[in-house]
Structure 1
Amino acid sequence: MTLLQNPTPSAETRLTRGEAAVRVTGLTRSFGGPAILDGLDLELEAGSFTVLLGRSGSGKSTLLRTLAGLDPAPEGTVSMPKERAVVFQEPRLLPWKRVWRNVALGVPGNDARERAAAALAETELAHRLDAWPATLSGGEAQRVALARALVREPRLMLLDEPFAALDALTRLRMQALVARLWQEHDFTVLLVTHDVDEALLLGDRALVLEEGRIGADIPIPLDRPRHHGHPEFQRLRRRLLATLGVDETGTEHAGS
C-alpha cells in the first residue's frame, strides 16, 4: 500500500472547503480470510465532518486505523494530512503520569506544559492539569484523551467510538464539545459510531460500510444545532436504519 502524507501546510496552502483532505483508492485489507476492506475508495472533503457506520466486523475501525497510520495494508493508495490525531473508545492514559504529561506525550519543545494546559482548557479541564488519571471520572478521562489529540494541532481528527463507554448525559456533553471544537478548529473529522442518532447530531455526511466498500453515502443537510424532533432528522434516521438493515425498534430485518 502507498501512504502519501501531505507536507505540513503553511497558512497560504492549507486546504479549503471543496478540496479533498483524504483520498483512498483501492484499499484492501484481510486477516487470512475474506477481505475486510475490498478495493475501498473514499474522499473526505477538507473541514468536513463524516460519520462512518456499519455492522460489527464491517471494517470501520480497520479503515480508521489505516488513516491513523497504525494499521498498514498491502494494497491501495492513501493520501492524507501529516498532522492527524486519533481518539479511541478507551482513554488509554498512562496512570503513572499526571494529566498534563499524558496530554503532552510525544510533544517536543520546552513549552509542552503550556501547550497541554491550553488544550485542557479547550476541553474544560484546566483545573485538572496536575491530577492523576486515577482521580478522573470517565468523562474527564475521555476529555483528556481529546486534549491529547488537540495539542497536536491536527488537520485530520479520527474518532473511534469515543463516547461509547460514557453514560447518556456525559455522552451528550462530549458530542457538543466535539462539535464545538470542530467548528472552531475547522479540521476534517471521521467519526466511527454504531449510533444513528449520534451520526445525525454530528455529521454532515454518513457513510455505511458494506462488504468491504462504501455501500451508502448519505448527506445530512440539517441546520445546527440539531434536534431529534425535527421531521427531516426523523426521515434521515429512518433511512439510515433501513440502510443498516434494522427497523426503528432496533430489530434486524430478515435476510439483511
Structure 2
Amino acid sequence: MSANSLTKAEFELAGNAVSIRHFTRRFGETTILRNLNLDIAPGEFVALLGHSGSGKSTLLRALAGLDTVEEGQIDRPSAVSVVFQEHRLLPWKNVTDNVTLGFDGKEWNAQAEAILHEVGLGHRLDAWPLTLSGGEAQRAALARALIREPKLLMLDEPFAALDALTRLRMQKLVLDLWKRHDCAVLLVTHDVDEALALADRALVLERGEIRTEVEIPLARPRRHADPAFEALRERLLHALGVTS
C-alpha cells in the first residue's frame, strides 16, 4: 500500500501530522521495521532513539518519501523537510543560493534572507559553505529546510558532529524555531539527554519495533539536576540496555 493513501479529508479528520499503520520494511531476507504503528500530532516534538541498525534511518527515509512503502501505510503532510547529520550544502553555491535551492525568483531570496536572520546567519548571506563553521553550516541547513514551511520537520542526528557547546546552542535554536514555525518535529538521536531536553515524547526503537514510549511532561527549559529529569533519563537508559 502506498504512502499518503488516505484522502485529504480523512487525514485531516484523523488529527495527526503523521500516521503510520502496520509499516514493514524488508531488505531481502532481513526485516528492518516490523508492523510499526506511530502517530505524531500537529506541532508535537518526538525524539526517536535506538542502537545502530534498529531502523531509525530507514523509518526517516520512508517518512521523507525517499523509499517506497510496500507493506503498510504512511500518511504524512505534503510539506516535509529533512536536516541530516551532514549539512549537504553545495560548495559552489553561496549560503542564500543553497537555502533557495529549487526555488526561483527574487521573493525567495527575500524569504531566505529573513530565515537566515532567524537562524543567526544574517551576516553570512553571501558566504561560501567551505568558510562556515560546523554550527553555521547546520544553521544554513535548518534555514534550507524551513523555507519550505514544513508541517513535518525531520532531524537525523543533526548535531552529532558538533562540539558540546555548539550542540547546546543548536538545541536551543531548534526549540525556538519549532515554537515559531509550529511544525511537528521528529528528531533521530543517540543522545538521551538531548531527547529529554527537547522532546514532548521519546520513543525507543529496538529490532524494528517501538518497544518503549516515554512522555516528557517537563516544563522548558529543562534542567539535568531536576529529579524528574533524572528519573526519565534512567528509564530511557534502561530501555536502551544501559544500566548504572
How is 1:92-171 mapped onto 2 (pairs within 5 angstroms)? 92-171=88-167
Moved more, 188-197 or 19-28: 19-28
Q: Residues of 2 paired with 1:95 and 1:3: CA distance?
A: 33
Kindly provide the CA deviation profile for residues 168-206 of structure 1, in whole angstroms up to 9, marking residues without a partner as x: 000000000001111111100000000000000000100
Structure 1 residue 5 displacement after superposition: 7.4
Q: Which amino acid aligns with 2:23?
A: L
Distance 1:72 1:159 in 2: 20
**What's the secondary structure of 2:237's corresponding residue?**
helix
For structure 2, the residue ranges without an aligned partner over 5 or more in a row are: none
SS in 2 for 1:158: strand
The answer to whether the aligner puts 1:34 opposite 2:34 as a matched pair is no
Following superposition, the deviation at residue 108 of structure 1 comes to 4.0
> Which amino acid letter does the alignment assign opposite residue 2 of structure 1?
S
Conservation of the 8 A alpha-carbon contact between 1:48 and 1:189? yes
Q: Structure 1 stretch 24-33 or stretch 234-243: which is displaced more?
A: 24-33
Instruction: Say if 2:208 is the partner of 1:212.
Output: yes
Is the partner of 1:47 in helix, strand or coil? coil
Alignment TM-score, normalising by the size of structure 2: 0.95
In structure 1, the residue matched to 2:21 is 25
SS in 2 for 1:126: coil
- Answer 1 or 2: which has greater helix percent: 2
Aligned residue in 2 for 1:177: 173
Gaps of 5+ in 1: 249-256
TM-score, normalisation: structure 1: 0.90
Q: Is the 8 A contact 2:18 2:74 kept in 1?
A: yes
SS at match of 1:42: strand
Deviation at 1:216, TM superposition (A): 1.0
Q: 1:56 to 1:189 in 2, by over 3 A?
A: same
Matched residues in 2 for 1:15 and 1:45: separation?
Answer: 11
Alpha-carbon separation, structure 1, partners of 2:134 and 2:206? 32
User: Per-residue CA shift, 1:198-223, capped at 9, x if unaligned?
Assistant: 00000010011122111111100111
Secondary structure of the 2:76 match is: strand
In the alignment, which residue of structure 2 is the partner of 1:47? 43
Q: Which residue of 1 aligns with 2:224?
A: 228
What corresponds to 1:254 in structure 2?
none
**Residue 202 (1) aligns with residue 202 (2):** no
